[in-house]
Amino acid sequence: MIADCSTNVWNRYDAQKPQCGFGEAGLCCRNCLQGPCRIDPHGEGPAVGVCGATADTMVARQFLEAVAIGTASHAAHARHLVAALEGMDIADIDRSKLKQVAARLQIDTDGRDNTDIVRDLVQVARSEFTDQQKWSLSVLPERRHAELRGAKLIPNFGIDAEIREALHRIHYGCDADPASLISAAIRLSIADLDACCMATELSDILFGVPQPVVASANIGVLKADAVNIALHGHSPRLSEAIIATAPKFENSARAAGATAGINLVGICCTGNEALMRQGINACASMLNQEAPMLTGAVDAMVTDYQCIMPSLTEVAKCTGTPVITTSDSAKIPGAQHLKFDENPEATVKKILMIATQNFKRRKGKVVHIPKAKTTSVAGFSVEALITALSRLDSDQPLKPLIDLIKSGHIRGIGLLAGCNNVKVKQDHNFIAMAEELLKKNILLVATGCGAGAFMRHGFMDPANVDRLCGETLAKVLHQIGEKNNLGGPLPPVLHMGSCVDNSRPVALAAALATAMDCDISDLPLVASAPEATTPKAMAIATYAMALGLPVHVGVPLPVGGSQNAMNLLRDDALTGGRLILEPVAENAAALLINIIDEHRIKLGLSQRRAAA
Ligand code: BF8
C-alpha cells in the first residue's frame, strides 16, 4: 500500500464527518450480539433497545464503562511502577518521600532501613489492587470520608475488583438502573484516584520529587544537527532509563555527524514527567504528536503506553522515522517492538543505537523545524509549593496561601487539566479560559496536555505574569518569587505534572480543606477539562466530582441522550460535586468564577459577589 503522506489527526477527523449523532448522545448500544441498537434522541423510532434498555440505561452504562477503562489504564500504569520498585536498587530512591508515604499508609518507619520499608510498601501497593484503597483514602480528609461513606461511595474492594464489578454491571441483563450505574461510576472513580495517587507517589520515590525547573517547550526544541529522540507515552520508567543512558552515547552521536549530540524531547505525559524531574524540553502533546515526525528531524519515536496514535507508523512511512514500541500493552503495526521490561538496559542501548543510525541516514537532508519555542518553568509538586511558601512562613507554610485566599488576593484556585480534542481548535479552550480566570485573580494549576497547551502559549513563562494576571494575583506571584530568590515571579500557571499527577492538586485541596477546617467541596476551588478526549480524562473528571468539586468539561460527553443521567451528574446530590457541560470557553470561565464566588460567600470570606 502507498503511504498517505498527508495523514494527520485533523484531516482524518474531517474525513469522519458527519460523526454519528446516536453515538455522540450515548444512544448506540453494542453490548450484545442482538445489537447494535440505537434510540432516536428526538423521540422518533424505538424508545428502547432489543433487550428493553432505555436511553437512560444505555447512557449510564456507557458512562460507567468509560470510567472503568480510564481506571484500568491508570491501574496498569501504577502496577508498572510497583514492579519497578520491586526491582529497584534501594540506594537510588528518594528516602524522604518514601518515609512520608509509608508513614501515611501506617507503615512503621522508626529505626527501620529502607529495604524493609520498601518491602512493606510493595505489599500495601499489591493489596490496593485486590482488597483495599488505602492510598487514596489516606489522602482525603475525614469530612470527605464522611460524605463518601454517607453516600455509600467508599469502595468495598481493591482497584481490580472494583473494575470487575463495574464491567459485570454493564453486562447484558445486569444493572439497568441509571442512578445505580452512575453511583457505581462515582465509587469506581475513587479507585481511579487510588491508582493515580499510587503512580505519582511511586514515581516520586523511584525518580525524585519534582522541583521547579526551567526548560523550553514546543516543536522548536528539535535540532537539525542532533540525534533527536522523542519520548512518548506515560510512564517515567522508560524515559528515565533513556535519560540516564543517553550521555554514554554522546560520542557515537557526534561521531555520526550530529554536532549537537543527542537531543531528548518529550511528548504527551512522558514529556511532562521528563520535564518535571529532568528538565527535558517538551516538544508536543497528544493531539499534535505527529507533527514532530513531519519535520523530518526525529530519529526515533519511542513509546510506552496510552495516548499514542497508531497513525505514527503511517507518518513514518513518509519520513523514515523509526517508531519503537516498548510495551506489550501498546503495540502498533509497522513499529519495531523492543520489550522494555524484559531487559531494560539492552533495550535502551538498542534504542540509542537505532536513533544514531537513523541520523546517519538523514544527515544532510532538509528538515523543517518551525521556530516556535517558549520558556517554561515547571515542576510544582505539592512539596515544591510548600517549600516556596515556607519562605513566607516557615512554621505554617500553608498559612500564607490560606491568608491570601481569605483576603481575596487569590480569589480562588482553578485546575485546568486533561487532553486536547480535535473537535476544538488546538489549545483554544485552555487559553481562552485561563485568560479570563487569571485576570480575575484565580490561581491556576495545570496537568497533562493542558500543561502542554499553557507551555506552548507562554503561560508558564514568569515574564508574562504582569500581562496575564490580575493585579493582586500578580503581586502574590512576585512576592513568592522574591522570597525564594528566583529573580522574578512564579509563572502565571503552575505546572503540576502529568495526568496521573492530578493526584497532586487533590493532595493540595485536601491539605487546604484540613487547614481551613472545611470540606473540599466548600473551598473556592474548581476544575476543568476544557478539551477532554480520553476515558482516563472521564475517570479523572468523575473523581473530581466525587471529591465534591464543580467540574467543567468543554466537549460533548456521550450523556446528552439521557436527561435523567445528565441530571444525576449535573448536580450530584451524592457527592456535592457537579458536572458543567459548556462548550464556549468564555461562558465556562464566567460560570466557574460565579461558583468560586458562591463558595467564598458560603465560607464567609466575602459578603457578596465580587465584580465580574
Ligand atoms: O494522560 S491529557 S490526551 S496524554 S489522557 Fe492523554 Fe489526555 Fe493528554 Fe496523558 Ni491525560
Pick from 231, 270, 499 the residue to mutate for probing ligand 1's pocket: most ligand atoms within 8 Å of its CB.
Answer: 499
Q: Which positions ≥6 away from 3 have C-beta within 8 Å?
A: 314, 317, 318
Which residue puts its alpha carbon closest to atom 3 of ligand 1? 419
How far is it, in rounded angstroms, from Cα 228 to Cα 10?
25
Q: Cβ atoms within 10 A of the Cβ of 33, count?
A: 7
How far, in Å, CA of 411 to CA of 40, rounded?
44
Contact 78, 234 (CB under 8 A): no
CA nearest neighbour of 302 among 255, 269, 338: 338
Q: What are phi and psi of 298, to 5 degrees?
A: -85, 130
- Distances in Å between the Cα of 29 and the Cα atoms of 57, 368, 478, 556 are 10, 45, 53, 18
Q: Is the CB of residue 510 below 6 angstroms from any atom belonging to ligand 1?
A: no
Report the distance separating Cα 41 and Cα 59, nearest Å.
12
Dist CA 472 CA 459 (whole Å): 17
CA distance 39 to 41: 6
Q: Quote the longest CA-to-CA distance of the chain.
A: 71
Q: How far is the CA of 8 from the centre of ligand 1 (A)?
A: 18
What's the grid cell of residue 312? 505514527
d(CA 319, CA 298): 9
Q: How many Å apart are CA 589 and CA 586, to the nearest integer? A: 5
Residue 439, amino acid: K
Nearest residue (by CA) to ligand 1, atom 10, is: 499
pLDDT of residue 88: 80
Residue 320 vs residues 285, 298, 325, 330, 336: alpha-carbon distances, Å? 21, 9, 16, 21, 13
The owner of cell 468564577 is: 593
* Residues constituting the chain: 612
Cβ–ligand 1 distance for 536 under 6 Å, the answer yes
Alpha-carbon distance 184 to 472, whole Å? Answer: 42
Among 534, 542, 543, 553, residue to substitute to test ligand 1 (most atoms within 8 Å of Cβ): 534
**What's residue 458's pLDDT?**
98
Reduced 3-state DSSP string for 467-520: HHCCHHHHHHHHHHHHHCCCCCCCCCEEEEECCHHHHHHHHHHHHHHHHCCCCH
The answer to whether residues 451 and 483 touch, using CB atoms and an 8 Å cutoff, is no
Cα(588)–Cα(605) distance, rounded to whole angstroms? 23
Positions of the chain with pLDDT under 50: none
Q: Which of 196, 306, 528, 553 to mutate to test the pocket of ligand 1 (most atoms within 8 A of CB)?
A: 306
Rounded to whole angstroms, the Cα distance separating 274 from 265 reads 9
Residue from 378, 391, 376, 373 nearest 463 by CA: 376
Q: How far does the centroid of ligand 1 lie from the alpha carbon of residue 286, in Å?
A: 7
DSSP 161-211: HHHHHHHHHHSTTS---HHHHHHHHHHHHHHHHHHHHHHHHHHHHHH----
Lateral strand order in the sheet of 550-553: 493-497, 442-447, 412-416, 525-529, 550-553, 578-581
CA distance 172 to 48: 14
Q: Which pLDDT belongs to residue 466? A: 98
Judge whether 515 and 389 are in contact, CB under 8 Å.
Answer: no
Kindly report the protein residue whose alpha carbon is nearest to atom 4 of ligand 1. Answer: 268
Q: Which three cell numbers stand for residue 579?
A: 458536572
Ligand 1 centroid to Cα of residue 535, in Å, is 9
In the block, residue with C-alpha cell 489504564? 73
Q: What are phi and psi of 89, to 5 degrees?
A: -75, 115
Place of cell 523543517: 368
Which H/E stretch holds residue 20? none
The answer to whether residues 303 and 325 touch, using CB atoms and an 8 Å cutoff, is: yes
Which amino acid does the sequence have at 339?
Answer: K
**Count of helix runs (H) and strand runs (E) in the chain:** 25, 16
Taking residue 30's Cβ as centre, other Cβ atoms within 10 Å add up to 11
Closest CA to 218 of 451, 437, 492, 446: 451
416 lines ligand 1 (CB under 6 A): no
Q: How far apart are CA 495 and CA 497, in angstroms?
A: 6
Give residue 537's identity as a one-letter amino acid code. A
Q: How far is CA 270 from CA 235, 240, 312, 323, 416, in A?
A: 6, 10, 16, 16, 18
* Residue 360 CA to ligand 1 centre (angstroms): 33
- Residue 335, classed as helix, strand or coil, is coil
User: Which pLDDT tens digit goes with each residue over 203-232?
Assistant: 999 999 999 999 999 999 999 999 999 999
Query: Helix crossing, 428-439 with 448-456: angle to 10°?
Result: 80
Preceding amide of 400 cis, omega within 30 = no
Q: Report whether 354 contacts 368 (CB < 8 A).
A: no
- The CB-side HSE value for 556 (13 A sphere, CA atoms) comes to 13
Give the nearest ligand 1 atom to 306 CA: 6
Ligand 1 centroid, distance to 132 Cα (angstroms): 27
Is there a contact between 348 and 242 (Cβ–Cβ < 8 Å)?
A: yes
pTM flag (> 0.95): yes
Q: How far is residue 580 from each of residues 63, 118, 272, 489, 550, measured CA to CA in Å?
A: 15, 42, 27, 33, 7
C-alpha pair distances (Å), 523 with each of 402, 509, 550, 596: 11, 8, 10, 8
**Ligand 1 binding pocket mutation candidate from 536, 538, 543 (most atoms within 8 A of CB):** 536
Candidates 508, 543, 530; CA nearest to 580 is 530
